[in-house]
Amino acid sequence: MTTYNFSRISLPNDSIVYNIGRLYVLLDSYLYKEAYKEFNLNPAKFNLLMVVKHIGKDNGLSQREISNSLYVSAANITKLIDTAEREGLVARGASGQDRRINLIKITEKGSKLLDEVWPKHVSAINNIFEKISMKDRQKLNRLLDLFKKNMEAR
């Protein structure tokens, strides 16, 4: 039987995956505290509103399109949309072509909320990178893009 020592990750690949996961948790927590908390938002709800407003625009998006854009499971996206709808931030409406498909659109209240949150979001993101050179940011972005494309191809 193989025993794993999780206190010390020794393989570079494991370390990379661990760091990406840990960074996600830290980033989620940081953005909540610095940008979203006072608006009763969390990163998931913020991202939902951004996708619906900027990708869906006036036409709206199906739950599947939102789920694919955010890389969130169908069950989780339903719960997220239900909450945002109860809060009056998004609205569901039947698709003109297929009544089985609901289109999610941002409401005026949701759009105004995004406009209020946006400056805090931008400031929080800028603060994260203030001590990292532009060259390193570009390199990191290229590497993450390569990693993402590799994962999407699987």
pLDDT in tens, 56-71: 998 899 988 999 888 7
* Burial class of 80 by CB neighbour count within 10 A (0 to 12, 13 to 18, 19+): buried
Cα–Cα distance measured from residue 115 to residue 50, given in angstroms and rounded to the nearest whole number: 10
DSSP state of 100: T
- Residue 3 located in a structural domain: no
Token digits for 8?
């010390």
Domain that holds residue 103: 12-125
- Residue 44 located in a structural domain: yes
45: CATH: 1.10.10.10
pLDDT tens by residue, 95-153:
777 777 889 999 999 999 999 999 999 999 999 999 999 999 999 999 999 999 999 89
Instruction: State pTM to two decimals.
Output: 0.83
